[in-house]
Amino acid sequence: MCCIPQHLGQMDICKGVVSLATAAGAICLLYKAIRAGIKCQPPLCSASPICIARECPRPGERAQPQEVPTPQVSCVGGPQGLAIEREQHGRDSGELRRLLNSLECKQDEYAKSMILHSITRCVYLLESEASACTNDDITLVGSMLDDKDNSVKIQALNTLKAFSGIRKFRLKIQEHSIKVLELISTIWDSELHIAGLRLLNNLPLPDFAHPQLRRVMPALMEILQSDYILAQVQAARLLSNLAQKNDLLYDILNCQVHSNFLDLFQSTQPGSLLLEVLVFAEWLSEGRSSPHYHAVKWHYNEQSVHEALFGDDSRLADRLLALVIHPEEDVQIQACKVIVSLQCPQDVGVQPSFPPSHSCFNNAE
């Protein structure tokens, strides 16, 4: 009987040894796993042209993964060494140049579209690298407008729009304005319309584009009367800019529109669209009251913009009065501006374009 406690003590000691061995083995396995994870980090730079937010060695440098054992979080909330952070520290990531070089290689439509999308992001995020680009780069991007795939065209338009924010590239981008006008007038695609019109609205259109603008005026009016709000807003904005050109004013006013053109001024329309079409109407009203325009006696089609807005049978006055009480203050103010422009000619010596008896608004109103 005296041997039983001795055997029990030996069993407890054995159990303790086994437990310690098990714990040591687990710690060893955990250490090996952590060590393997550290050694098997992904390469710092890959050949993929898609991501700009990754660490890449500068031109002429060799990647040194042993110097960066683990990713660390920086003060801006992301891994250290992102391309945008290198930009902030005055270091060129080379990402934009690699993307442009890859665009020169033969790529399928999807790859070209993705590369252009990444270039657009780089231009917006990496200012110094974008400013270091050349006119040849603009020509390369512009050549993508001739691609057979619409998605490539759209991404190229977006990229040119991004570059147009850099002053030194604007003249070069203007050279593509004729092609852009051709695209938006011959291809009925709302995304392409939005991208093309946004680009045109960000550029001062050169005089050599005016003949093409006259030819595409019906297409611009069709986009304005379409059911795509973003495209309508951009079209109205472009037409407002063109209405300020004396040599294009008549082409706009005489452009044929649908019988329901004044539906654009209904209070049920989105405020963003209402504001733009009201600005457009104000520019047209001021333009037709100018001495330059009154120097010639103009004739208009029955279904023209002029007749829809300013003709004797126009119901524009009703639409404007309804918009004076619109919920959005900007729309109210702009509606009042149009009313004032209709009632008050620009110059005292210029007679109103309609007799007082046919005025849209009587004195009481």
pLDDT in tens, 65-121: 434 333 343 333 334 444 555 555 445 678 999 999 999 988 899 999 999 999 999
Q: Which amino acid is at 112?
A: K
- Whether residues 339 and 225 share a domain: the answer is yes
Task: Please count the other Cβ atoms lying within 10 Å of the Cβ belonging to residue 45.
Answer: 16
Considering the domain architecture, whether residues 251 and 134 belong to the same structural domain is answered as: no
Are both 227 and 108 inside the same structural domain? Answer: no
Cα–Cα–Cα angle for 202, 208, 209, rounded to 5 degrees: 50
pLDDT of residue 106: 85
Contact 257, 221 (CB under 8 A): yes
Half-sphere exposure of 40 (CA within 13 A, CB side): 6
Q: What is the DSSP string of 122-146?
A: HHHH-HHHHHT--HHHHHHHHHGGG
Asked whether residue 102 is domain-assigned, the answer is yes
Check whether residue 191 and residue 219 sit in a common domain: no
Question: Structural domain of residue 150, as residue ranges?
Answer: 94-204
Same domain, 315 and 252: yes
Strands (E), the chain: none
The token pair that represents 314 in the structure block: 């126009």
Q: Is 22 among the domain residues?
A: no
Q: Dump pLDDT digits (tens) for 221-278.
A: 999 999 999 999 999 999 999 999 999 999 999 999 999 999 999 999 999 999 999 9
141 with 159: CB under 8 angstroms? yes
What total number of domains does the chain contain? 2
Contact 79, 73 (CB under 8 A): yes
Q: What is the pLDDT of residue 359?
A: 41
Tell me: do 114 and 146 sit in the same domain.
yes
Domain boundary among 204, 238, 258: 204
Could you tell me the two tokens for 45?
A: 């730079």
Range in 68-72, 129-133, 150-154, 307-311 the model is least confident about: 68-72
Cβ neighbour number for residue 219 with a 10 Å cutoff: 18
Asked if residue 233 belongs to a domain, the reply is yes
On whether residue 118 sits in a domain, the answer given is: yes
Same domain, 304 and 244: yes
For residues 225 and 329, state if they share a domain.
yes
Indicate whether 285 and 228 sit together in one domain.
yes
Residues 182 and 270 placed together within one structural domain of the fold: no
301 and 221 share one domain: yes
Mean pLDDT of the chain: 80
Given 172, 204, 236, the domain boundary residue is 204
Classified as helix, coil or strand, 73 is strand
The answer to whether residue 85 is domain-embedded is no
CATH code, domain with 122:
1.25.10.10
- Do 220 and 275 reside in the same domain of the chain? yes
The reply to whether 253 falls in a domain is yes
Query: Which of 169, 204, 239 lies at the terminal end of a domain, its last residue?
Result: 204
Specify if 154 maps to a domain.
Answer: yes
Structural domain includes residue 24: no
Poorest-pLDDT segment among 55-69, 146-160, 176-190? 55-69
